[in-house]
Structure 1
Amino acid sequence: MRHTKHSQTDTPVVQRDDETFRLLYVCTGNVCRSPGAEILTRHLLRGRLGGREAARIEVASAGVRAVVGAPMHPESRAALEPWALDTDHWSGDFRARQLSAGIVRDADLVLTASRKHRSTVLTEFPEMLGVTFSLVEFARLVSAVDATMLPPDLVKRARAAVDAARAQRGLVPADGDDRIPDPIGGEPQDYRNATAMTFRAVVDVLDVIAPRS
């Protein structure tokens, strides 16, 4: 069951009563940055928590102008090789999908590749303001949270971390433009750089939400 509460800034925040936390990554075509973030997050969660506990966080991705049905870009897939995630099991079966109302409104946290993507999501779904951030922005904000104050249960901890990160808005300055550059049309190194930047941000997020035992 879902219900809505209001944050300190009177922003509607979707709340859930179930025991699953839903994380959505968003980029443009859903063939490079957001699927990379999705796959890396799944991999890291499983490694830290084991399959059963990791399954309590559902990770998905979509694109604001998705190349619907397309596989992951081969260079982005190749950039996952250092983590052995360039296999059919991890990235070979991926297919891009278009962002939709059902996908967005089902999420507990929406993390975008850039501020522009965040604005695109919020233009269509303003009610998601309280749970929508760029990935780099959220990594910065949640890293400033006192993790010792978060509950131990994974799902409750993730929801509390979102609330705590939201309270950090305006308090933790950005070092840049909170963007993971789009590698499309670039050299292989551009894809590797985008993936490495994504990995660092995802690790920062999971160090708070799902810390190593």
Structure 2
Amino acid sequence: MADVSPRFAVLGVCTANICRSPIIEAVLRDQLDDGYFEVASAGVRGWVEKPMEAMAAMELMRLGLTPGSFRSHPIDDYFVDSASLILTATTGHRSEILGTAPEALRRTFTLVEFAQLVGTVEADDPASLVAEAARLRSRARGDLDIIDPYKRKPAVYRAVADQINEACLTIASRLNSLVVSADRG
């Protein structure tokens, strides 16, 4: 039986933690088994205690979720150190995290990158999925970034929310299947 930590922590990261990463957090929190996973988000230049941006919140509601009492957070060492998996909106965000915490390399991916990798790597549990994805990182192709919709047209917010939702559903499905498999083992 695979050893599955009951608190596998996933961290979504974007710039200010008011648009993309709150959507990542909400979708993953909704989709992941809360008996095993905890989800948070932060921004590399995050604002302190700001609500989700209104257009991002509207897109989240379109996806059937609510922002609730969401408040933004700047990323700090605690967030990085306690995360089992860090999913960034862009390669630039990933680089910023690794610039201050190079030891996080093997557990830091863009959201799009990790979504591409989860279906192509073998793993018995979430931790080994992250490790194997890091080992095979070069297999991810194409544009790995999710553009910043802040202060853009509604169609941009919609496209970003849909891209995040699709990637998160792929990731959540694979992570959940690994804890279900471990429970059966």
Contact 2:115 2:171 in 1 (8 A): yes
- Counterpart among 16, 20, 27 of residue 29 in structure 1: 16
Larger Rg: 1
Look up the equivalent residue of 1:192 and give its one-letter code.
R
Alignment of 1:68-83 (within 5 A): 68-83=48-63
Whole-Å Cα distance in 2 between the matches of residues 129 and 204 of structure 1?
22
Whole-Å Cα distance in 1 between the matches of residues 96 and 173 of structure 2?
28
Q: Could you give the per-residue CA deviations for residues 140-166 of structure 1, whole angstroms, max 9, x where no partner exists?
A: 1122113xxx33xxxxx1111101211
Whole-Å Cα distance in 1 between the matches of residues 63 and 167 of structure 2?
16
Q: Could you give the per-residue CA deviations for residues 96-155 of structure 1, whole angstroms, max 9, x where no partner exists?
A: 001001111011111100000000000001111111111111111122113xxx33xxxx
Query: Which residue of 1 is the match for residue 161 of structure 2?
Result: 195
- Counterpart among 106, 117, 141 of residue 174 in structure 1: 141
Contact 2:14 2:20 in 1 (8 A): yes
Look up the equivalent residue of 1:179 and give its one-letter code.
D
Contact 1:142 1:164 in 2 (8 A): no
Whole-Å Cα distance in 1 between the matches of residues 60 and 119 of structure 2?
24
* Count of residues paired in the alignment: 177
Partner SS, residue 60 of structure 1: strand
Whole-Å Cα distance in 1 between the matches of residues 121 and 163 of structure 2?
21
Contact 2:117 2:133 in 1 (8 A): yes
Query: Which residue of 1 is the match for residue 171 of structure 2?
Result: 205
Unpaired runs of at least 5, structure 2: 181-185
Contact 1:30 1:66 in 2 (8 A): yes
Contact 1:161 1:208 in 2 (8 A): no
Residue 164 in structure 1 maps to residue 140 in structure 2: no
- Counterpart among 123, 126, 135 of residue 111 in structure 2: 135
Distance 1:93 1:21, change over 3 A: same
Look up the equivalent residue of 1:123 and give its one-letter code.
G
TM-align CA RMSD: 1.9
Whole-Å Cα distance in 1 between the matches of residues 79 and 24 of structure 2?
17
Alignment of 1:141-160 (within 5 A): 141-146=117-122, 150-151=123-124, 157-160=125-128
Give the alignment's TM-score, normalised by structure 1: 0.78
Whole-Å Cα distance in 2 between the matches of residues 131 and 183 of structure 1?
26
Residue 108 in structure 1 maps to residue 88 in structure 2: no
Contact 2:6 2:35 in 1 (8 A): no
Whole-Å Cα distance in 2 between the matches of residues 17 and 99 of structure 1?
26
- Give percent identity, aligned residues only: 35
Look up the equivalent residue of 1:93 and give its one-letter code.
S
Contact 2:113 2:140 in 1 (8 A): no
Moved over 3 A (4+): none
Contact 1:36 1:198 in 2 (8 A): yes
Pick which of 199-208 and 122-131 moved more.
Answer: 199-208
Whole-Å Cα distance in 2 between the matches of residues 168 and 127 of structure 1?
17
Partner SS, residue 79 of structure 1: helix
Cα displacement (A) at 1:17? 9.1
Cα displacement (A) at 1:55? 3.3
